[in-house]
Amino acid sequence: MASVSAALVKELRERTGLGMLECKKALTENDGDIEKAIDDLRKNSGLKAAKKADRTAAEGKIRVVVDGGVAVVVEVNSETDFAAGDSNFNNFADAVVAKLAATKEADVAKLMEGELEEARMALVQKIGENITVRRPAVIEAETVGAYVHSNGKIACVVALKGGNEEVAKDIAMHVTASNPRVVRAEDMPEDVVAKEKEIIKAQPDMAGKPDEIVEKMMVGRISKFLKENSLLDQPFVKNPEQTIAQLAKSAGAEVISFLRLEVGEGIEVEKVDFAAEVAAQLKG
């Protein structure tokens, strides 16, 4: 094995972003051939990425791009919030949403084919965490607007008929803050309403009351539940004197749909006993 110069190690580090010792080892094993060293490192990163693939990634960022009447949105996850703040992670997230905007490919596997998947595996190797991409979506309408919360963890896209992008963005901002379940009360799934009725019936103040009184109270409380969880009935966060329905009407718009994403939704995070984990690592 040939000796390797510090300049060559530096070049490999700059090209791969990997540690000095790992770069030196790869160069030494490949007799100073930097291209072969890169190939070996990429192969190894694939192995390391595979080992990390079963680790839960529930932190990350939401990325959105709006172009005319089309918006795309995608969630890119990491294992820790610290990694999600890394510039390399954010560059990768930008590349993912850029490809989504260019291709409109909402199938994750197809979206990630080729260079994007190679970039993901290289990022796993570099930051030492599992990185995943999920929930890409394409929204098309006469008017679309989006809002991303300052921490990048919550975003919303709103589709309108009529109106303009500014009012769509205002409604999207409202949705990120208020988190309605549906656009209109009649859109609420029957099973959700049925479950809410069960909860209301089980409340202490319902006990012992005649059926007709229970029914009247039920109607009132269900009506309140629907109003609180239906976008059009909610008071606009910027102006509580105005409902979202009134805001849309004043702008000559009709709300068609919204999509709200929050980082980590639906991901089951395993609770780990930190002390036990450290003890296990020490034993290992």
| Average pLDDT of span 108-113 | 93
Q: How large a percentage of the chain has pLDDT more than 70?
A: 86
Pairing mode, strands 235-236 and 132-140: unpaired
| Average pLDDT of span 200-207 | 83
Which stretches of the chain are assigned E, i.e. beta strand?
Answer: 59-67, 70-78, 132-140, 143-148, 154-162, 235-236, 239-243, 253-262
> Across the chain, what does the average pLDDT equal?
87
Q: Is 152 left (phi over 0), alpha (psi -120 to 50) or beta?
A: left
| Average pLDDT of span 87-98 | 96
Q: What are phi and psi of 140, to 5 degrees?
A: -120, 135
Q: pTM of this prediction?
A: 0.75
> Which one has a higher pLDDT value, 112 or 267?
112
**62-90 per-residue burial string, b: 16 or more CB within 10 A, e: under 16:** bbbbbeeeebbbbbbbbbeeebbebeebe
| Average pLDDT of span 53-76 | 88
pLDDT at residue 256 tops 90? yes
Residue 186: pLDDT band (50, 70, 90) is very high
All structural domains of the chain with their residue ranges: 6-52, 55-140
Residue 158: pLDDT band (50, 70, 90) is very high
Q: What is the 3-state secondary structure (H, E, C) of 94-110?
A: HHHHHHHHHHCCCCHHH
- The class that CATH gives domain 55-140 is alpha beta
Residue type, 191: D
pLDDT at residue 1 tops 60? no
Residue 169: pLDDT band (50, 70, 90) is very high
132 burial via Cβ count (<10 Å: 0-12, 13-18, 19+): buried
- The class that CATH gives domain 6-52 is mainly alpha
pLDDT tens per residue, range 24-44: 888 898 888 888 887 777 666
